[in-house]
Amino acid sequence: MTRLHRCILLITAATFLAACAAEPESAVPLDYELLAHTGDVEAPEPEGGRYAPADKDAIDRGRYLVVLLGCGACHTHGAFEGAPDLERALAGSGIGIAWTNPLQNERPGVVYPPNITPDEQTGIGLWSNARIANAIRDGDGRHGARPLVSMPWQSYARLNDDDLEAIVSYLRSIPPIEHRVPDEVQPGQTATAPFVYFGVYRSRD
């Protein structure tokens, strides 16, 4: 097994990352902690009065799809640590996701999964339906021209229009929760909130 293989962790949390390539052959990175990530987080119930009764079937389907696609596994605080805060389900995570190579970046770029409840101050309450749909299907979020690399939008691009509309309707129907997540960290900056790594890295030797 090469040094590169030993340094790869698929799910890792750290507030400081030591450069793997700088470690001796026998060293074990000490700044990593293996977490029991929760991949299945129950979606909150729609809130009465936030949708028309005629839309209930679509909203129920949207809720089913949100659970099936695992939205809460990233957008719920604590899910990365195996203890999701269900009182703030889908209200964003204070634990981020590093989106740059852990074997090359001592201080990686980090994004914090945003609040996707309809809160107008910290969530998507002021977003248009088209903007929400574009974020889901195209990875067109709050990070400018760069797609949301930590979100599997390439798979969500296969959603048909009816399913996408059902998800948007469901997200509109749930209770708004005020919860502001940390700002994105650019590569080279020091993250002040914890983050995890997701990824598969191929050996070059």
Q: What is the per-residue pLDDT for 149?
A: 64
Q: Decide if 149 is inside a domain.
A: yes
Q: Decide if 205 is inside a domain.
A: no
CA distance 97 to 115: 14
Domain tally for the chain? 1
Q: Decide if 203 is inside a domain.
A: no
What sign does the CA torsion over 118, 124, 130, 132 have?
Answer: negative
CA angle 40, 43, 47 (to 5 degrees): 175
Which residues in the chain show pLDDT less than 70? 1-32, 141-149
Which pair of tokens denotes residue 187?
């590569």
Burial of 149 (0-12, 13-18, 19+ CB in 10 A): middle
CA distance 156 to 138: 8
From residue 152, give the alpha-carbon distance in Å to each of 87, 115, 135.
25, 17, 11
Q: Decide if 175 is inside a domain.
A: yes
Domain of 137 in residue numbering reads as 3-197
Q: Decide if 140 is inside a domain.
A: yes
Q: What is the per-residue pLDDT for 9?
A: 32
77-123 pLDDT, tens digit per residue, is 999 999 999 999 999 999 999 988 777 778 889 999 999 999 999 99
Q: What is the per-residue pLDDT for 6?
A: 29
Q: Decide if 202 is inside a domain.
A: no
Q: Decide if 88 is inside a domain.
A: yes
Q: What is the per-residue pLDDT for 31?
A: 64
CA angle 163, 70, 78 (to 5 degrees): 140
Q: What is the per-residue pLDDT for 141?
A: 59
Q: Decide if 95 is inside a domain.
A: yes
Of 173, 175, 176, 164, residue with least CA distance to 56: 173
Of 187, 167, 10, 16, residue with least CA distance to 111: 187
Which pair of tokens denotes residue 177?
């929760």
